[in-house]
Amino acid sequence: MTNHWIDIRNSDCILIMGSNAAENHPISFKWVTEAMKRGAKLISVDPRFTRSSSKADIYASLRSGTDIAFLGGMIKYILQNNKYFKEYVANYTNACFIVADSYDFHDGLFSGYDPATHKYDKSKWAFVKNEKGIPKKDPTLQHPRCVFQLLKKHYSRYDLETVSSITGTPKEDLLKVYEAYSATGQKGKAGTIMYAMGWTQHTVGVQNIRTMAIIQLLLGNIGVAGGGVNALRGESNVQGSTDHCILFHILPGYLKTPKASQSTLAPYNKKYTPKTNDPLSANWWGNYPKYSVSLLKSFWGDRATPANDFGYSWLPKLDDGKTYTWLDLFDAMYRGEFTGFFAWGQNPAASGANSNKTRKALTRLDWMVNVNIFPNETGWFWKGPGMNPKEIKTEVFFLPCAVSVEKEGSITNSGRWMQWRYKAAEPPGDARADGDIMIDLFKKIRWFYKKDIKQGKKAVFPEPILNLKWGYTTRGRYDPHKVAKEINGYFQKDVTVKGKHFKKGDLVPSFAYLQADGSTSSGNWLYCNSYTNKGNMAARRKREKSGIGLNLEWAWCWPVNRRILYNRASVDMYGNPWDKEHPVIKWDPTAKGGKGGWVGDVPDGGWPPMLKPDGTLNPKTKYPFIMKPEGHGRIFGPGRADGPFPEHYEPLECPVEKNLLSSQLVNPVIPKYSTDMDIYRTCDPRYPIVATTYRVSEHWQTGVMTRWQPWLLEAQPQLFVEMSQELAQMKGIKNGEKVIVESARGQLKAVALVTRRFRPFKVQGNVIHQVGLPWHYGWVYPKDGGDSANLLTPSTGDPNTRIPETKAFMVNIRKI
Amino acid sequence: MSGKAFFIDTTLCIGCRGCQIACKQWNQLPATKTKNVGSYQNPQDLSFYTYKLIRFQEHLGPDGKPVWYFFPDQCRHCVEPPCKETADEMVPGGIIIDSQTGAVLYTDKLKKANAKDIIEACPFNIPRAQKGTGYLAKCTMCFERVYNGLLPACVKTCPTGAMNFGDRDKMVELAKARFQEAKAKYPNATLTGIEDLRVFYLLADKPEKYYTFAKAEPMPKAMDRKMAMRKIGRSLKELAREWQAINKLVS
């Protein structure tokens, strides 16, 4: 989230699309309800009428996988009807930038496409720069090659007729949504988007979010209270685990994982430290080397020295051009490319797309360690459906672990709030906290390396293990405070920074003090400021009495306790809030003894407003979008794998032979896998029905935590498949009877839930049906609960992230 | 009229069932074996082990779009409860009214009463008997929590403010105010229970769109109040039975 949960209450229009907040984030509805009591409009856009839709002022249905068409139509509407926030767009976004002549878009393809490699040459999408190397701008937005005009041209094709024919959304519903949401383009009004996996799990996942980001920038909704682009994370700490690099391509704090070709620190740092020639651009990532060196110091302490590149050579490197995402890992496992696997706090046999492939892949391992709180489909895969334990060589070790309330530590919620939690009970039996399991694991691994060396054996690449700084225990047990302090970072020697003197061993007060010379450490620069000499900031518990809900002294929020990102875009050029009722920050010229300063939230940098009171440019100012080298919100986004503007493509498995917007049916840079179990079927008469997967309030993820909970199981006992009355009638299916749902990859038995809440779509003149299933069930427990809906889903995904496309694929259903 | 009351604003209810689960947790009630019968609602009905249940109803709205109603069903804690009236005739002290909260509470003595009569006396079809023992159970208003300054478990857990609890007059006030607001958005909005119950529902539509027993029939004026309540309880149940029988014949 750019904003945070409580901030939803400040919104004037809430769009729930690509999520189902009432069911999957019920607590968020506390704030949705508060906003509605203030008069905010709630819009629900979903293929199926959900518990969220039941509370909405406007409900519009759309066929799964057509969100870009739906939102592209909204961009056209906003531009055509002058609903955009002109002052904001002209000053804070890159709408005024001039794009190079090498950028072009024709019939679904952007310039730079190489059909042989299925990749784009992104250098074709550059901005034109002036003689100083600063992007050329046209503040009038009239230049035919400026972003604004190119945007207009790109979405001119997304007319109501075409959009309705693609999405299956009636035209009058499209208009209702467009009208209500674009009303937040008025100065002082804010619209917010609550999205989740309904947007990300597509072959156009990233571009779904990009489309909304463009809308939010056009309407001036970024940086303001009640606005933003808000991902409702699917797990309580998924934000924290992402910040601390659960994904392969990043190190903690979104630093980049080095590539094999970046053999030393200097070229690595150079590659990822963006440059700007614009004195008004803060270009925050220009600090990259301070953060990367501080991370290396955190890993290897005194062993990391300038002479050995701070241990850079000990970091694992990625093969150039290769991806190591979830889909890639299980593909490699299936092909026998590796033989050992830790399934820690996860249940891939039920959670991964194309679960039959995943389950088969597990049989190719020599060993697997499964750390979990209950028996699950992964640890027990060897006796699952279709498996013969005698034929399976994989040796499985199950380690029971503590649940969240049986250990101390922090979680970071969707709003980026790092909140400290305490231990309420001892874990039962042999179950242990994850931290304790890791401590013992590492101790043993290091012991093996040392033993080999002692015995004169050749230890392979022992330096990263032997040199690792490892001071995370107290009396032999994992100590979460020591880890939290390490994440924040220490001064490594006595040093004076910014006129302040620090002693070796002092906690670094914020990332502004981190250094690239090895004098500081930080396990995650984004969290520097979370555990300082003043104490554990995440444990703070002071509620705000009045104001807009920032709660600056409740827990802690990255970065540097800033509750609303890009908040310097919430004010006009003089530093006055657009929205007087809900000011995020405000420039107070009398503050700091007349020097002036910001009041309110922690500002995105303390620089003064863009203009002086006399209307002239303040040379000390910086643009508000400090994380981009140009300092402007990116309407034109030249960094993505699949184009600088989002374009509608059909899902890899779709019910139509034609894309009405171009002759490019699917995303041209889509990742596909090629084993015998990667089967994709589009427009196949055997699989004529669109399907999607989702969650319900009563269960969580693959259900490992909830299926074993009798009260929750009582409320949602069995896998079901929701379908319209029309489809049920056509197939002769009665409500409540068991049916078979099958895709090209697998089949399932599910209870038919025939409902008015699903309606057939009219797409390209034809009637298209859609069904949906929750993915919470698995064969281990309960016996009659059903299996994972991911047995049906395809192993393809977004070209940027490779998140699987589990929200739009093709199936058939039939009576048993 | 003093004591406590619930105000349940279904226009804010998102059907998350936090209340249903919290009720089971606080009262340490076991889960019952359920099946999906083609609905989100489960268990299908209240039972000796289920005091609170969200009932789900789908309809088509006037604009041709679906509406989905959620009805958190529970004991209404009648100010003059017909179940107590019936029990008093058989086992005095079987059903008591807590003097401070107004909670209608079933005691162990009730075992000696004819459970069927008690159940039939209820105009809202709430009490349920334990198989074999004859004990009766239903919502207790979490009176032991209330006595300790806590909200009932279902109210405490509600994320949206659909479940409210407090002094009865304050709840009446709140209910009336919310009813006035809701009428603008929902022309058929209905407010139930503020005259004679301790559970008031604000419904976005006519009560029958939610659930057969969402509301008892209005009482004929001439008839004795208590008798009327009991009669209505019976006649509604009979009506429901007939309706079910007809449905069976039709299908």
- Compute the average pLDDT of residues A534-540: 98
Query: Does B12 contact A33 at a Cβ distance shorter than 8 Å?
Result: yes
Tokens representing residue A516 in the block: 């690239």
pLDDT at B222: 41
Query: Does B38 contact A735 at a Cβ distance shorter than 8 Å?
Result: yes
Instruction: Choose among A313, A327, A361: nearest CA to A341.
Output: A361
A717 cis-preceded (ω within 30 degrees of 0): no
Given a cut of 90, whether residue B242 has pLDDT beyond it is no
Owner of token pair 């015998």: A676
Q: Which pLDDT band, with edges at 50, 70 and 90, does A198 fall under?
A: very high
Query: Does A53 contact B37 at a Cβ distance shorter than 8 Å?
Result: no
* Residue B62 vs residue B249, higher pLDDT: B62
* A499 backbone dihedrals φ, ψ, rounded to 5°: 80, 0
| Average confidence score pLDDT of chain B | 90
Given a cut of 60, whether residue B57 has pLDDT beyond it is yes
Q: Which pLDDT band, with edges at 50, 70 and 90, does B237 fall under?
A: low
pLDDT at B215: 84
Q: Which residues of B fall within a CB distance of 8 Å from A14?
A: none
Tens-digit pLDDT profile for residues A571-614 = 999 999 999 999 999 999 999 999 999 999 999 999 999 999 99
- Compute the average pLDDT of residues A119-148: 97
Given a cut of 90, whether residue A480 has pLDDT beyond it is yes
Q: Which pLDDT band, with edges at 50, 70 and 90, does B219 fall under?
A: very low
Query: Does B20 contact A715 at a Cβ distance shorter than 8 Å?
Result: yes
Query: Does B66 contact A51 at a Cβ distance shorter than 8 Å?
Result: no
CB B136 within 8 A of CB B127: yes
Tens-digit pLDDT profile for residues B101-147 = 999 999 999 999 999 999 999 999 999 999 988 899 999 999 999 99
Q: Which residues of B fall within a CB distance of 8 Å from A22?
A: 14-16
Closest-CA residue of B relative to A52 is B14
Q: Does B68 touch chain A (CB under 8 A)?
A: yes
- Compute the average pLDDT of residues A474-503: 97
Closest CB from A29, A696, A753 relative to B38:
A753
Q: Which residues of A fall within a CB distance of 8 Å from B60?
A: 756
Q: Which pLDDT band, with edges at 50, 70 and 90, does B248 fall under?
A: low
Closest CB from B17, B66, B159 relative to A29:
B159
Tens-digit pLDDT profile for residues A341-397 = 999 999 999 999 999 999 999 999 999 999 999 999 999 999 999 999 999 999 999
Given a cut of 50, whether residue A748 has pLDDT beyond it is yes
pLDDT at B245: 59
Closest-CA residue of A relative to B67 is A54
Tens-digit pLDDT profile for residues A759-774 = 999 999 999 999 999 9
Q: Which residues of B fall within a CB distance of 8 Å from A757?
A: 58, 66, 68
How many interface pairs between A and B have CB atoms less than 8 angstroms apart? 105
Q: Does B174 touch chain A (CB under 8 A)?
A: no
Query: Does A54 contact B59 at a Cβ distance shorter than 8 Å?
Result: no
pLDDT at B216: 77
DSSP A325-379: -HHHHHHHHHTTS--EEEEES--HHHHSSSHHHHHHHHTT-SEEEEEESS--TTT
Closest CB from A30, A59, A716 relative to B42:
A716
User: By percentage, how much of chain A surpasses pLDDT 70?
Assistant: 100
Rounded-to-integer distance, Cα B5 and Cα A342, Å? 53
The pairing of beta strand B53-60 with beta strand B66-73: antiparallel
B66 cis-preceded (ω within 30 degrees of 0): no
Tens-digit pLDDT profile for residues A631-644 = 999 999 999 999 99
CA angle centred on A584, ends A579 and A590, rounded to 5°? 95
Would you tell me which residues 190-249 of chain B have a C-beta closer than 8 angstroms to some C-beta of chain A? none
C-alpha A263, offset from chain centre: 30
Tens-digit pLDDT profile for residues A53-83 = 999 999 999 999 999 999 999 999 999 999 9
- Compute the average pLDDT of residues A541-557: 97
pLDDT at B134: 86
Given a cut of 80, whether residue B1 has pLDDT beyond it is no
Q: Which residues of B fall within a CB distance of 8 Å from A754?
A: 38
Q: Which residues of B fall within a CB distance of 8 Å from A784?
A: 35
Q: Does B184 touch chain A (CB under 8 A)?
A: no
Rounded-to-integer distance, Cα B240 and Cα B47, Å? 18
Closest CB from B35, B69, B159 relative to A717:
B35
Q: From the CA of B52, how many Å to the nearest CA of chain A?
A: 12
Rounded-to-integer distance, Cα A417 and Cα B57, Å? 38
Query: Does A30 contact B160 at a Cβ distance shorter than 8 Å?
Result: yes
pLDDT at A312: 98
Query: Does A718 contact B36 at a Cβ distance shorter than 8 Å?
Result: yes
Closest-CA residue of B relative to A719 is B36
Model-level ipTM above the cut of 0.90: yes
Given a cut of 80, whether residue B236 has pLDDT beyond it is no
Query: Does B66 contact A53 at a Cβ distance shorter than 8 Å?
Result: yes
Count of residues for chain B? 251
CB B17 within 8 A of CB B211: no
pLDDT at A388: 97
pLDDT at B228: 56
pLDDT at B223: 46
Region of A7 (left: φ > 0; alpha: ψ -120 to 50; beta: rest) is alpha
Given a cut of 90, whether residue A179 has pLDDT beyond it is yes
- Compute the average pLDDT of residues A121-148: 97
Tens-digit pLDDT profile for residues A637-676 = 999 999 999 999 999 999 999 999 999 999 999 999 999 9
Q: Which pLDDT band, with edges at 50, 70 and 90, does B220 fall under?
A: very low
Tens-digit pLDDT profile for residues A412-425 = 999 999 999 999 99
Given a cut of 90, whether residue B232 has pLDDT beyond it is no
Q: What does pTM read for this prediction?
A: 0.96
Residues of A with CB under 8 A from a CB of B: 22-23, 26-27, 29-30, 33, 49, 51-55, 59, 696-698, 710-720, 735-737, 751-757, 784
Q: From the CA of B231, how many Å to the nearest CA of chain A?
A: 33
Closest CB from A54, A737, A756 relative to B60:
A756
Tens-digit pLDDT profile for residues A424-449 = 999 999 999 999 999 999 999 999 99
